[in-house]
Amino acid sequence: MLAHAGSEEIEYPTSDGVPMGETDTHRNQIMDLIHALEVHFMEAADVYVSGNLLMFYEKDDGHRHLSPDVLVTFGIPKRERDSYMIWEEGKAPDFIIEITSKSTRVEDMGLKKGLYAFVGVREYFIFDPLQEYLSPRLRGYRLEGEDYVPLVGEPLASQALNLDLRVVENHLRLVDRATEKLLPTRRETEEARRQAEGRAQEEAVDSENSVLRHTQLP
């Protein structure tokens, strides 16, 4: 993507060349969280959910970017984007999760944490799915003034999302506070769809058989 700054052309790349997750565990965790949030906020036209998207935080500098694993922003249109430019959207994301590892710990706990606070990300969560270095493996921070304050409690509560974050069978899950139900993973959504289709087929067969029985009566 190209933009003009005076007489110069500024290139904003759409990829940093880094894969979504360094292991299947990391990638699946990221994809399940994005899926759960997309389904949860499906009817909200002003809630944007994404992940592994370049987020540029300094105008006219295509090198100043980060790539959050999962992000949610309230108050902006739900549409597809090539990248997230804070100055164009008018705000930073409200919520970010990084699925961390030993190889990304310095960036996740240092550079990213500091920059997310600097640009105004309201809540920042970090999850270590393989328990490589974080104890506890899930940490959360909420912005107060210009600095992050650690969240405490179990499960951790997101004020931005009005959801709880809980580790269930080594998987980070999101919990609807109103219903206490887990937001579905991709596999759970697909299984629910198959079950619904199966029930619909059974009902169609039962209805057809009922019609046949009535037409065969003397």
CA distance 83 to 57: 11
Write down the pTM of the prediction.
0.84
Question: What percent of the chain shows pLDDT beyond 90?
Answer: 72
pLDDT at 2 over 70: no
pLDDT (tens digit per residue) in 194-212 = 777 766 666 665 566 666 5
Q: What is the mean pLDDT of residues 182-203?
A: 81
CA distance 29 to 23: 10
Strand duo 84-85 + 55-56: pairing: parallel
pLDDT (tens digit per residue) in 42-71 = 999 999 999 999 999 998 887 889 999 999
Structure tokens at 92: 């930073």
pLDDT at 15 over 60: yes
CA distance 121 to 48: 14
CA distance 32 to 183: 10
Check residue 203 and give its pLDDT.
62
CA distance 166 to 193: 25
C-alpha separations of 71 from 33, 102, 199 in Å:
10, 21, 36
